[in-house]
Structures are given as structure tokens and as C-alpha cells.
A and B are shown apart, each in its own frame.
Chain A
Amino acid sequence: MEEGSVQQAHVHAPPEGFLRKHVFSLDHKVIGKQYYGLALVAVFTGMILSWLMRIHMVWPTAKIPLLEHLSSAGAPGGVITPEYYLSLMTMHGTLMVFFVLTNAPFAAFGNYFLPIQIGAEDMAFPRFNMMSFWVTFTAWVVLMLAFFIPDGPPISGWTSYAPLSAVGKDAGPGMQYGMSLWGLSIAIFCIGSLLGALNFIATTLDLRAKGMTLMRMPLCTWAWFITSCIALLAFAVLLPACILLILDRHAGTSFYVPGGLVISDRLQPHSGGSPLLWQHLFWFFGHPEVYIAILPSMGIVSHILVNSMRKPLLSSKVVIYSMMSIGFLSYMVWGHHMFLSGMNPISALAFSFPTLTITIPATVLTLIWLGSLYGANIQINSASLFALGFISMFVAGGVSGFFLAQPSIDIYLHATYFVVGHFHMVMGVASLFGVFAGTYFWFPKMSGRMMSEPLGKLHFWITFIGTYCIFMPFHYLGLIGNVRRYQSFVDDFMAPYLGVHKFVTVVALITGAAQFLFLYNLIYSRFKGKPAPDNPWNATTLEWSIPSPPPWNNFGDRHPIVYHDPFQYGVKGSKGDYVMQDSPEQVVPASGD
């Protein structure tokens, strides 16, 4: 004990034993990888659910082998029932939004790289950090249980609108126990996310290395920090919303269920509740959640672009301020999800205005990325391709937001495939492109091995083209009047457009299959990939100043001192055209500039 050795001085002892090293680890890097693993399982589950939905939509009588064993009531003989289609849709949305888009870009990469990038040896509260993962994991287990109970998963969609979500079995299959599991799972998830956000904020504020001023933090650290502030507010509101839902369902209260409501020929034993209350509380969380998903990817993409362009962005400060104003504005726009809820037209206008305002910082960000790319000699690899793909998705999916933000247009487009196409591109795929870019970029650091570039590029092109082929037609289908959440369109006015749906289904199967290339690349490279040097991308930030993979205590007994901002590219340094953040050398502009 007396030696004052590094081991005992570290915030926690070096991990010993399998459980401490890999399961209940206090090490932020292991916890980050655990989050990544959970997100990976969730994303493939969610993707397979979407396959099942797409197949059922265009071939409603198709027999899907094995599905009968999962749910004999939901898929008798392997044929999906209309109700089971809704169950699959609910689980797809819930898994993707909570366990993928919140976990992967924010919790997984944030946990792994935020402490290293600011020169800390670990998160502020390692035990809370471990708890937040295992609480999130419990939430996932509770949610997945819904597949294996006779009742099946709920049919209410990921938004679980009251009153149907609050009345129990009268609302349909899955709405009794399945819905209860959903509510419990999301409540647990909120607790995990709150613990995580608390940790991120305290770490960023207090544990920065000497010289690491706020403005010297890498852009992705900034994005994680802003996201954690958003998450702290958002999940602190979703948790009460879930508590009220659980009480309505199990304690006979009437927060959400109005009086005199008859569902399935039964008068519901509730009185006076407000279904709109759920929508307000849910969307007060739900809209910021969109930015919880996309902001970390914006940060990751900016981080990677600077590195592949070998020059700073036009203005990194404006990037930071734009991300901040997006975070701030995200709390003023939740009502734009409720234009059709019967709200006062004046409040619709009041929500429409900040929604349109939010496009200003978003456009500023895009212009900074594009303006910086102009004339840049960008190095093309899997990471930078996905970063460029992110910008493309963000713009293509974001532009339709201009239309949806206006109440008069939204009345027509509400709950159509136009909305589905919009949020899948701008929130779902764009954010995932950030995750893919981050994976190809940081995998060498996380595993000590390089990923296969040819496979990565193939993965990019199939995914990029596939995504456009899937979600662009959605916009046109929505304009035709194709309502979302309907299980099939074989015998209504949509029948002539079934060909479009068939095309989308086929492309979805191909694009989904390409994701297994990614999975193969990930697993193969983990064991057989080319060994990675400490700094394969000649990057400036602190994570590249330590070995790949990093030791348990990150910097060993070294306390990094930061001398520069992370944008010292295109300069003359001792190692090349860059100077690392912790390098004391003077920055000299490269000759010829």
C-alpha cells in the first residue's frame, strides 16, 4: 500500500479475475464496448424485425419458417397476423431508438473515448458507470421478455400513445403484459441513461487534463457533452411519464385515461384523464431524443472529417455553438409532433416557428462541413466515406423536415410514409452512418487491429445506395397518401403502388444482408486483422497518443499536458503534417502555405 504506486493511486484497482475484467468492469473502455455489443445485438434484432415487416407487407400470406415457434398466436403456421405486424413494429422502433440510437453513438463511443480524449484516467464515477450499463442491460432483457410471453409484444408503436397504452388487455393482443414490460423497460432505461448522463457531465467538467480548456476539446467530446446535457433533461421527464403510465395500468389511477371511454365493448373504469398529457410528456422527451441520436454522430463526423481533410474546419467554434443551439432549441419544438392532436392553431404556430428556426444551426453545420470540404484533398477510406454519407443523409432527410414543420402541410403528411422516410433518413440512418464512421475510425484503437478497407468500402456503397432506394420512395408513397403502421395494402387504393413496396422490400433485404459484411469484418478483424499502430490515421487527439488497445489505466503513470487545439493539421510537425495535442513543439505552418 505504502509505495504510492500507480495502481493504488488510480481511481480503481487494476481489474483482476474474469468478472471484474469483462462483466462487472469499472473500466470505461470495457463499459463502452459492452454498450457497443448491446447496441449491435439490438440493431440486428431490429433489422430482422424490419425484414419480417417488409415481407409481410408485400406478401401477406408468406410463410416464414421458425416464426411459428416464437409466437404461435402471432404467426400461426408462420404467417404473420395483422396484430403481430404491429408487435414487430413496436419492438423494431423501441429497440432502434432506445437501444441502438441512444446506446451506440452516445453511450458506447462516449464511454470509450470521452475520458481518453480529455486526458482522464476514467469516468468521474466508475461504479455508477458500471451500474448504468447493467441497468440498461436489464431494461433490454425486460423488453425482450415480451417476445416470449403468451401475450406477445405490445402493438402500440414506440410512442405508446395513451389511452390505448394505459388500459390493458382490452386494447388488443400484447397490451396486457407486453405493454407492462414495455413501460417497465423504458422506465429502467431512463434510470440507466440518467446515471450515464450525470457521469458524462461531471467527467467533462472536472477531469480534463492540464491545458485541456473547453475550447481545446475535440468536437466529438463537445457533442457527447452537449448530448449528455440534453439526455439529463429528456430522460428526467420520460421517467415520470412512465411512472404515471404504470400507475394507470396497475394502480387504477386516471392520469391518461378519460372518463366514459369504451374499448372493445367495455366501459373503462377510469375518469377524467388526459390522453394528451402522455403526448406532451412523451414528446418533451421524444424530440430531444432525436438530437440525442444525431448530435454524437455530428461530432464524430466532424472529428473524422478534420482528420481526413488534413485541415481544420472553417470554424470549429461555430460548430460547437450550432450544436449547443440545436440542443437548446430541441426543447421548444415537441408540439410539432402533435399538430393533429387538436391543439390550438396558435400553439401550433408557436411550435412551428422554433422548429423552422432549428434548421438554421443545422444548415450552418452543413455549410461548414461542405465549405471545409471545398478544395480539400480528402483521404478516402471507409471512415471518411461514411462521414460523407452522413452529410448526404442528413441533408436529404433533413430537407423534408422543412415541409413537416409547417402545420398546414403536416395535416396532409402526418402519419404517412413521408414522415417514416424523413425520420429514418435523418435520425436513423444518418446517426448510424456516424456510428459506422466511428467504428471504422476507432476500431484500430479499440482492438489493436485494422479493419478490412475493401470490405468496408463495399459495405458503404451497398448501404448508401440501398438506403436511398429504401427511404426516398417512402417520401413519394407518403405524398400519395400511404398511411404508416398499416400492415398491408393489397386491396385498397394503394394496390397500384404495391410494386414500389416490393422494390423497397427487395432492396431492404439486400441492404440488410450487407450489414452482415460489416459484422463479419468486425469479428474477423478483431482476431485476424492487420495489427494497428498507435496512430494509424496520423491524428492529433489524445486517444492516439497511447497504445492500441489502451492499457487499463489509459495513460499509465503519465499525466498528459495539452498544448494545442485538436485541429493542428496542415502544419509542419516533427512527425508529419500534424502536431498532436500533447506535443510541446511549436506549430509552424507547412512550407508553401
Chain B
Amino acid sequence: MSSTIASVNSQTNALPPPKRASAQAALVYERQERVSSSGIWVGVFAITMSFAAFTSALFVREGTTDWGHLELPSVLYINTLVLLMSTLTLESARRALAAGPFGNIEGTRKASAWVMITLLLGLAFCAGQFHAWQELRAEGIYLATNPNSSFFYLLTFLHALHVFVGILVLVYLAGRLMASHTTFRRSLFDNTAIYWHFMGGLWVYLLLLCRMKL
């Protein structure tokens, strides 16, 4: 029991003194760390299940008479590169934070720079997806034009929505890091990274699915 508290305390070095003083608060902190990490994996599992349902819907719909072909806008490949780069930059941020004791000045400064880059790349990805939709619209291909376009808009929009949620959390984290606050939970950072990597992986899957099936 006491060793847990000690290790937690070493992790919370940089927390403001009143919090560090309380062993109880440290316990609560440690508890939050644990549940957040299970929580994110359960959440990732649920999102996977939803996209699996959409995939099976696509397979069923594929067998029907009006299934055609959709030429994917080429900007999608640039977007893919952007999103994959962003998972690398966020991983760099996570490692910069993990390198020293939590809250050390050097690590925090590096991490906040990496998070800012990730944020920009994430926004660029969303803008790129928007551009892809605009491109299709310009060709007269809308959501209801044919089943292929329906699935394309649906899958890309829902993925972008999830990425956008990630961006909102990144904005919060960037704000905290920039202001040299380290009072957010470490697990929040690690779990945002897991979520963000998952979004990258999910996008690669969706791109392959769209390319092969639509």
C-alpha cells in the first residue's frame, strides 16, 4: 500500500504542494489514472464495433443492383500522410513528457511544441477531408447520388467527427502545456495519444475499404 503511494507521489512531483501533501488525493489521482486507461480501451473497442457494423452494411449493400464505382479524390492520399504524420508528432510529444519526471520544464516545452504541430496537422486533415467532399460535390456527387457516395460521405464524415473530438482535447492539452500548467492528469495525455493513434489506424482501414469496395 505504502509503496503505491510513494510511486504515485514521485509521479505527481510537479503537482502544486497542497495536492502532493495529501496521500488521499494521491490515491484518487492514481485511481483516475487506472480507470482512464481501461476507459479509453473500452471506448476504442466500441468505436471499432460501430465501424464494423458500417462495414458489414457496406458488404450487404455491395451485392445490390445499383452498386457502382466511386473515383476517390486524390487529396485523400495527402490527408492520409498528414494524419499519419500527426500520430508521429503526438507520439514525440508523449515521449518528451515521459522522458523526465512529469512536469519538468524541458519536457513540457518540447511536448507543447509537438502538440501544437499535431494540432495543426489534425486541423489540416479535417480541412483536407472537407476539400475532398467539395471536390466530389463539384462533380455533382452528393450523399444520396448513389450507394457508393452515400458510404463515402458517411464513413469519412463520422471519422472526421471523431478526429474533431480528438482535436478539442488536444486544444485543451496544448493550452495547459503552453501555460506551463501541469495540473492535467498524465493519463489524459497518454489516452489522448492512444485515441489519436487509433484514429490514424481507423483512417487507413477506411481508406483501404473505400478504395477496394467503393
Contact = CB atoms under 8 A, between A and B. Distances in A.
Given A255-B61, A280-B60, A9 B35 contact: no
Given A11-B28, A207-B35, A271-B66, A251 B144 contact: yes
Interface stretch (B49-57, B82-90, B94-102, B168-176): B49-57
Contacts, number: 123
How many chain B residues sit at the interface, stated as a range, is 35 or more
Q: Which of B34, B57, B60, B65 has the most CB of A within 10 A?
A: B57
B49 A201 contact: no
Nearest to A11: B28
**Closest 8 interchain pairs by CB?**
A9-B24, A4-B22, A272-B66, A252-B144, A124-B35, A236-B49, A240-B53, A237-B53
Interface in A252-272: 252-255, 258-259, 271-272
Given A243-B154, A254-B150, 18 more contacts: A2-B21, A4-B21, A4-B22, A9-B24, A9-B27, A197-B42, A198-B42, A201-B38, A201-B42, A202-B39, A232-B45, A232-B46, A236-B46, A237-B52, A239-B50, A240-B57, A272-B61, A277-B61
A201 B39 CA distance: 8
A403 to B, nearest CB: 30
B24 to A, nearest CB: 3
A276 interface: yes
Given A9-B22, A206-B34, A206-B35, A276 B60 contact: yes
Contact of B38 (A124, A244, A284): A124
Interface in B4-23: 18, 21-23
Instruction: Name B's interface SS.
Output: helix
Given A4-B22, A124-B39, A206-B31, A274 B64 contact: yes
Contacts of A271: 65-66
B57 A277 contact: yes
Contact of A274 (B38, B45, B46, B60): B60
A111 B22 CA distance: 29
Interface of B: 1, 18, 21-25, 27-28, 31-32, 34-35, 38-39, 42-43, 45-47, 49-50, 52-54, 56-57, 60-61, 63-67, 143-144, 147, 150, 154, 158
Nearest to A239: B50
Contacts of A25: none
Interface in A493-546: none
A372 to B, nearest CB: 34
Given A236-B49, A253-B150, A9 B143 contact: no
Nearest to B48: A236
B83 to A, nearest CB: 22
A535 B22 CA distance: 33
Interface string A212-247: 000000000000000000001100110111011001
Contacts of A280: 56, 60
A206 B61 contact: no
A72 interface: no
Contact of B50 (A2, A201, A240): A240
A109 to B, nearest CB: 21
Nearest to A204: B38
How many chain A residues sit at the interface, stated as a range, is 35 or more
A121 B120 CA distance: 40
Instruction: Name A's interface SS.
Output: helix
Interface in A273-325: 273-274, 276-277, 280-281, 284
A11 B31 contact: yes
A10 interface: yes
Contacts of B52: 237
B123 to A, nearest CB: 25
16 contacts: A9-B24, A9-B25, A124-B35, A202-B38, A202-B39, A236-B49, A237-B49, A240-B54, A240-B57, A244-B154, A251-B144, A259-B65, A271-B65, A274-B64, A277-B60, A281-B57
B31 A207 contact: yes
A423 interface: no
B24 A4 contact: yes
A272 B62 CA distance: 10
A205 B38 contact: yes
Contacts of B43: 198
A125 B39 contact: yes
Contacts of A198: 39, 42-43, 46
A66 interface: no
A233 B64 CA distance: 27
A63 B7 CA distance: 73
A549 to B, nearest CB: 24
Interface in A65-92: none
B25 A125 contact: no
Interface in A1-47: 1-6, 8-11
A20 B60 CA distance: 48
A3 B24 CA distance: 10
A210 B45 CA distance: 28
Contacts of A239: 50
Nearest to B149: A253
Nearest to A198: B42
B42 A125 contact: no
